[in-house]
Amino acid sequence: MAFTTTTFRLCLLITVVAPSSADTSSSTSINISTSPSLLRAPSSSSSCATRGNSTHIRWWIQYPSDFISNDEFRNVDDGGADGNCVYQSSESARAEMTTYLYENIMPYDLPNALTLGFDPSDGSGASSSRHTNTDGTTFFEHESDSNAILRSTYRHLQQQFDNQNTYSLRKRDCVDGLSDGILNQTLHYSLLSKVLYPWADVIPHSIFMEYVVPFAIVNEPRVDYRPLLFDALREMLKEWEVPTTTTTTSDSNMQMQQQTQMTSIKETQTMIKEVVKRINTRLWSILGRPSKPIVFHAGLTPRIYDPLSVIAYGHSSCTGLAVLLIAALRSVGIAARLVGTPAWYGDEEQGNYSWLEVFIPDDNGGRWIFLEPTPGIAEGDEDTANADDLDRDPCKRWFCKADRFNGSTRVFATRYTKEGASTSYPMAWAVGDEGIVGEDRSEYYTDVCSKCS
């Protein structure tokens, strides 16, 4: 397996975070074993009273004193500490997200890195040089000091906080109508989801970075789907938006949003499950044509499987439908990833299948729970459609049966982080392509589905 890599030095500013509470996840949940280690936070989080806003975002941490005593963190981040939370400036978060995305960039995206919105300059006088790999792809070698970051090109876009306590984008005058690539929108809506939706605060930092922030899932065409999906879903999620008032913290004079009560782990689990079911129920009709929801059509990958193509055509096969649902969930701050088998029984002639997993935080950091897209639900049929959800018995899925998981079927999940990766995600539509980082989930699915008749 070979992954194309980039070479530069960087400084990551925040460590992994995760909350704690009683484990209320269903029997279909999946314990994390090969993902980055998750730290457990104190059970009491009432002192995390302030939420992020246009200038700062909040992460829950395990030991606040580790950050309070870390002058480099406070100085570099321009943030402050509050109880079991740490606040990172939005610009610092943007920089960290950009660096992470570029450090782990997929090989398909390297030739178009500038078009996507990556800028190899860092504003600190550091030099960047272009190099060519043996396979002909291009990368930037970035040399700088420990404070250097890779920044996105948002010369023509500017964030501001409007009177409705929500982000907006203001476009400056630009030559020939040029704007930035999709990276800027990706960062903008990733940060916005952390401000508006309480579940985004409870997702561990490493999980949020890997399964919410990336603009790509596999090798699908890169499209600017986040603004469209975020706007399409926002009205149905209004009841979960955090009510806020503005206050000023005495410690750092930051204008923060005040939340009267922190969301518990149990409440967060319930919210994520309800939101996932609602989106899986309504997504297909609100993005479809009048009286024609998005439906399943077999055999369309890789012709129709990026989110905007699925919406435009109104149909896709299992991979495209899963990619669209994952993109929708990520657009509102829910961590999700593509899962599938490239060949039933290890035989390509038997076909392949794709579905998805959603991350649910719990007492041990978190776990992945799987479900299928439920396309074809028309407007007005939502209440009786019974779309798939995170509480469903695994044996209720058509493919989760003992005869399919007799030890010969392999299952994999997509990842984005290259460090420590031991396998790739095999794509049935691109046999032999090892450009997607993967995680082998065969043992879990064999264990669960072999019990289903």
With a cut of 60, say whether residue 399 has pLDDT above it. Answer: yes
Is 401 part of a structural domain of the chain?
Answer: yes
Q: What is the pLDDT of residues 180-189, one digit of tens each?
A: 799 999 999 9
Determine contact, residues 315/428, Cβ cutoff 8 Å. no
Q: What is the pLDDT of residues 161-180, one digit of tens each?
A: 333 344 333 334 455 656 67
Is 289 part of a structural domain of the chain?
Answer: yes
153 Cβ contact list (under 8 Å, min separation 6)? 114, 117, 118, 119, 180, 181, 183, 184
**Euclidean distance between CA atoms 190 and 94, whole angstroms:** 9
191's tokens: 């940060």
Q: Is the dihedral of CA 393, 328, 39, 3 positive or negative?
A: positive
pLDDT computed for residue 263 by the predictor:
75
pLDDT computed for residue 176 by the predictor:
62
How many other β-carbons are positioned within 10 Å of the β-carbon of residue 49?
A: 17
What is the mean pLDDT of the segment spanning 405-418?
Answer: 97
434's tokens: 């090892």
pLDDT level of residue 196 (50, 70, 90 thresholds): very high
pLDDT computed for residue 206 by the predictor:
93
With a cut of 60, say whether residue 441 has pLDDT above it. Answer: yes
Q: Which helix (H) or strand (E) holds 449?
A: helix 442-449
Is 1 part of a structural domain of the chain?
Answer: no
Determine contact, residues 96/12, Cβ cutoff 8 Å. yes
pLDDT level of residue 48 (50, 70, 90 thresholds): low
With a cut of 50, say whether residue 44 has pLDDT above it. Answer: no
**Euclidean distance between CA atoms 137 and 226, whole angstroms:** 27
Percent residues over pLDDT 70 in the chain: 65
pLDDT computed for residue 119 by the predictor:
81
Q: What is the pLDDT of residues 266-292, one digit of tens each?
A: 999 999 999 999 999 999 999 999 999
Strands 295-296 and 315-316, sheet pairing: parallel
pLDDT computed for residue 201 by the predictor:
86
Is 383 part of a structural domain of the chain?
Answer: yes
pLDDT computed for residue 249 by the predictor:
45
What residue spans of 177-317 are helical by DSSP H? 182-196, 198-202, 205-211, 226-234, 265-286, 307-313
With a cut of 60, say whether residue 147 has pLDDT above it. Answer: no
379 Cβ contact list (under 8 Å, min separation 6)? 285, 286, 291, 293
Determine contact, residues 22/266, Cβ cutoff 8 Å. yes
How many other β-carbons are positioned within 10 Å of the β-carbon of residue 23?
A: 13
Percent residues over pLDDT 90 in the chain: 58
pLDDT computed for residue 262 by the predictor:
56
In the block, tokens 């913290």 appear at 249
pLDDT computed for residue 138 by the predictor:
38
pLDDT computed for residue 86 by the predictor:
77
Is 248 part of a structural domain of the chain?
Answer: yes
Determine contact, residues 246/205, Cβ cutoff 8 Å. no
What is the mean pLDDT of the segment spanning 102-129?
Answer: 75
11 CB-contact burial (10 Å; exposed 0-12 / middle 13-18 / buried 19+):
middle
For residue 262, what is the DSSP state? P
Strands 423-424 and 138-143, sheet pairing: unpaired
Structural domains counted in the chain: 1
With a cut of 80, say whether residue 415 has pLDDT above it. Answer: yes
Is 402 part of a structural domain of the chain?
Answer: yes
In the block, tokens 């043992």 appear at 443
**Euclidean distance between CA atoms 241 and 199, whole angstroms:** 10
pLDDT computed for residue 150 by the predictor:
37
Q: What is the pLDDT of residues 2-20, one digit of tens each?
A: 444 333 322 223 322 333 3
pLDDT computed for residue 77 by the predictor:
34
Q: What is the pLDDT of residues 282-326, one digit of tens each?
A: 999 999 999 999 999 999 999 999 999 999 999 999 999 999 999
- Tell me the C-alpha to C-alpha distance, in Å, between residue 141 and each of 52, 62, 111: 34, 35, 14
pLDDT level of residue 141 (50, 70, 90 thresholds): very low
Averaged confidence pLDDT in the chain: 76
pLDDT computed for residue 247 by the predictor:
47
pLDDT level of residue 93 (50, 70, 90 thresholds): very high
With a cut of 90, say whether residue 24 has pLDDT above it. Answer: no
List the domain range (segments joined by +) for residue 222. Answer: 7-449
With a cut of 50, say whether residue 199 has pLDDT above it. Answer: yes
With a cut of 90, say whether residue 160 has pLDDT above it. Answer: no
With a cut of 90, say whether residue 60 has pLDDT above it. Answer: no
Determine contact, residues 215/101, Cβ cutoff 8 Å. yes
338 Cβ contact list (under 8 Å, min separation 6)? 217, 218, 319, 322, 323, 326, 354, 356, 413, 414, 425
